[in-house]
Amino acid sequence: MKVEKRIKTIVYLPLTVAMASLAHSLSPTGLFFLAILAIAFYLDLTKEFYISGKILTALGILLTLFFFTLALRTPFEAIAYWIMSLSIIKILGKKAMRDLKQIVALSFFNFVDSAIFHYSFVFLIYLVLYIVSASIALLIITFLDDKKETSLRVDLLNTLRNFGIGFGIATTLMSLFFFIILPRSPYVLLRAQIYSPTRREGFGNELQMGRVEYMNRRDQILMRVKPLMKRHDEFLYIRGNVYNVYKKETWIRDPENLTGWNYKGKENYKSKTFAFQITLEPMSTKALYVPDYPEYIDVRGIPYTESWGKVFLTRESEIARKVQYKAFSSSAPDETYPKGVDFLSVPEKYTSLIDSLIEKENLKGTTPLETAQKIKVYFLKNFQYSLEIAGDTNWVDRFLKTRKGHCEYFATLAALILRREGIPSRIVAGYLTKEWNIFGNYFIVRTKHAHTWVEYYFNNQWLSFDPTPPFEEKPGALSKLSEYIDYLSYLWTTQVLEFSFSNQIRIFNALQTSMKKLFRKNVLSLLGYLLALFILTAAITFLFKRSKERLHPATVYYRKFEKILKSKGYKITPAMTSKEIANLIISFEAIDFLDEYNKCRFSGNCDLEQLKRKFENFRRSIS
């Protein structure tokens, strides 16, 4: 490849990485821009085809106007597409030295923009690639800039490339240090959320029959729940939303917000709470999930409300970014019965059917607790868990006939039976997970873990009751490797994305404590440490200096000469002068070589080629 082409390819590399990063986070539309960039590269590098500057300027103006109008609706995306378009336009035009610099600058803007959209740890890979490629590009531009030439020798280009790779790697490692120490404010003025075009599905204010069945068939990871206490159950019920009105085969939360579920706040639950750290993916719904029974949450940057049913709802329309928070739960059920909220209505079309079922199967208990137990036993004995039933308007009939169904049907029917018996009840939607990551010690919650259960009001508290018969979850395809990759992703979120001022304080405090510990030990051990440190430094310095002391090139030949003589049985001692050696072996070639060596080594007039020739003569003569 020609040097000019190689230079161009190297300069285009950071732009490619930056645009790939941006396109990745904005796929599939972003991939379209990436494809056009690939075509532009092809035209430039292979065909040397360029579009006239005037046409490109006009195109640039038109695209700017277009994206400006688009920005009124989706500003972040519009800016990203605009920058990508300008980059492509730049590649399509003819380029001078200044343009090469501008291309690297554009790659910078593309990459910064991609940082707004990314939240996956793939960003780290892009970042390393970008730093390395941009370092090489900048080194080459620096060289061209200073030499005022547009061509470089291939060997020099290779040297610069290797240097650039080393520079990039060193930069990446140093970035970790800067990342930790850069000042962070606990009070962020304009908390811009990491914009994610893709949201996971959760539980909104309505739960249509069949919805959970649909979710059960999907395998996306929604959250990771790390218990912060030593003992915890093997499974976890995680509450999302609570519904009270059932109509048109849909559970509805009505009203959506009604504060005051006897929320006691952090202080009152210190002694008897279970703590969890939850890392939630961006969700299209408002619920902030908490293991049952929720008490309070500690979340920053997202305003929320504690609503009826022990539910936490964001005040925003959705959870637009990955969020990490601490959740606290207890064994205490909800004690609040919100006034004016309907927990008893049953759709008329089901009343007779349910009443006859209660009669037929003797589901009526003397207390609400007994009724709930009877329902549970009835389901357990007569029904099977299955995902094979699709939800439709006649689902109760079918459910009772086939005696197969999943949590939605069990919970709904149980709630309706309880209501017909005059027991206030409601549906809780959330997740039931048993999936445990052994590397990170956390529960993984996937869409397929979606679950519904029932709460009924008895003795001034909402008691939880899961009428769904036990079911065996299909073992996930999660191998140890993918489990480890998930752990890395978790680390990325908890240690990088959520790294905050308090983390910094914790690190500095730990450092301070370890320093104090070191100084608290007796003086002798401290002196020992210092002495060891001194010896280590001295040894490293000595070795480093020794490695720098390079042999005179003539001495290299002399050493070889000595080695040959020793191999031939001559006794050479370090004290012997070259003349003595010459007298010992009586060889014209040896004397000739020694003369040349002395001249080269001590007269300051060294002809290494001559020395080499004479050494070769000697070697030939002696062999």
Partner 1 sequence: MPRKPKPFVSYVKLKKWGRYYAALTLLLGFAAVNSGNNLLYFFLAALLSIMALSGFISYLSLKSIQLSITPPEELYAKTINYLKVKVKNRGFLPLFLIYAKKSDKERVLFDVIPPSGSKEGLLPYFFEKRGYNKVESIFVGTTFPLSFTIREMYYPLNLNLLVFPHIHKIKREVKVENPENTGWGVESSKEGAIGDFMGLREYAFQDKISRIHWKKIKDEKLYVKKFEDENFQVLSLDISSNATEEEIEKVASLAVHFLELGHSVGLKIDGKTAIPPDSGIQQKIKILQKLALLGYES
Sequence-distant (6+) residues with CB within 8 A of 305 are: 257, 259, 312, 313, 315
Q: How far is the CB of 188 from partner 1 (least distance, A)?
A: 4
Instruction: Name the E strands within 413-525.
Output: 425-433, 436-437, 442-446, 450-458, 461-465
Least gap, CB of 442 to partner 1 (angstroms): 20
The number of residues in the chain equals 623
Q: What's the min distance (Å) between Cβ of 498 and partner 1?
A: 7
Radius of gyration of the chain (CA): 37
DSSP readout, 351-413?
HHHHHHHHHHHT---SSHHHHHHHHHHHHHHH-EE-S-PPP-TTHHHHHHHH-EE-HHHHHHH
Tell me the closest approach of the beta carbon of residue 537 to partner 1, in angstroms.
18
For the CB of residue 87, give the shortest distance to partner 1 in the complex, in Å: 16
Nearer to partner 1, 355 or 498 (CB): 498
Beta carbon nearer to partner 1, 194 or 585: 194
Of 146 and 348, which has the nearer Cβ to partner 1? 146
Output the CA angle 342-344-348, nearest 5 degrees.
110
The answer to whether the beta carbons of residues 369 and 454 sit under 8 Å apart is: no
Quickly count: other Cβ atoms within 10 Å of residue 301's Cβ.
12
Strand ranges across the sheet with 245-247? 206-208, 250-252, 245-247
Quick one: which of 290, 312, 224 has its CA closest to 488?
A: 224
Cβ at position 610, least distance to partner 1 in Å: 20
What are the DSSP calls for 496-526, one per residue?
IIT--HHHHHHHHHHHHHHHHHHHHS-HHHH
Tell me the C-alpha distance between 135 and 129, whole Å: 10
Q: Tell me the one-letter amino acid at 565.
A: L
Between 143 and 263, name the residue whose CB sits nearer to partner 1: 143
For the bound state, the minimum distance from the C-beta of residue 189 to partner 1, rounded and expressed in Å, comes to: 5
Amino acid (one-letter) located at 174: M
Tell me whether residue 154 or residue 515 sits nearer to partner 1 (CB atom).
154
CB of 115 to partner 1, least distance (A): 4
* CA–CA separation, 223 and 278 (whole Å): 7
Closest approach of Cβ 105 to partner 1, in Å? 8
Cβ 10 to partner 1, closest distance in Å?
A: 15
- Name residues whose C-beta falls within 8 Å of residue 312's C-beta, 6 or more positions apart in sequence: 287, 288, 290, 294, 297, 304, 305, 306
Instruction: Find the shortest distance in angstroms from Cβ 71 to partner 1.
Output: 18
* Residue closer to partner 1 (CB basis): 198 or 394: 198
Nearer residue to partner 1 within complex by CB, 177 or 519: 177
- Measured from the CB atom, the residue of 172 and 598 that comes closer to partner 1 is 172
CB of 469 or CB of 553, closer to partner 1: 553
Residue 170 or 518 having the CB closest to partner 1: 170
Where along the sequence are the contacts to partner 1 (CB under 8 A)? 101, 105, 108, 111-112, 115-116, 118-119, 123-124, 127, 131, 135, 138-139, 141-143, 145-147, 156, 159-160, 163, 167, 170-172, 174-179, 182-185, 188-192, 194, 301, 496-500, 548, 550
Amino acid at 558: Y
Strands 323-329 and 274-280 turn out to be antiparallel
Q: Which two tokens stand for residue 589?
A: 């070639």
DSSP H helices, 521-552, are 523-548
Nearest distance in Å: CB 141, partner 1? 6
Name the residue nearer to partner 1 (CB basis): 96 or 182: 182
Q: Closest approach of Cβ 143 to partner 1, in Å?
A: 7
**Tokens read off for 520:** 């608290």
Nearer to partner 1, 301 or 528 (CB): 301
Residue 14 Cβ, how far from partner 1 at the closest point, in Å? 12
The CB-of-306 to partner 1 minimum distance in angstroms stands at: 24
Return contacts of 161-164, CB within 8 angstroms, 24+ apart. 161/10, 161/136, 163/139, 164/132, 164/135, 164/136, 164/137, 164/139, 164/140
| Interatomic CA distance for residues 395 and 53, integer angstroms | 66
Of residues 183 and 422, the one with the C-beta less far from partner 1: 183
Q: Which two tokens stand for residue 235?
A: 């499974």
Region of 310 please: left (phi>0), alpha (psi -120 to 50) or beta: left
The helix (run of H) or strand (run of E) holding residue 290 is: strand 290-291
What is the pairing mode between strands 404-405 and 384-385?
parallel
Cα 373-374-375 angle, rounded to 5 deg: 90
Cβ proximity to partner 1: between 385 and 499 the closer is 499
Nearer to partner 1, 142 or 513 (CB): 142
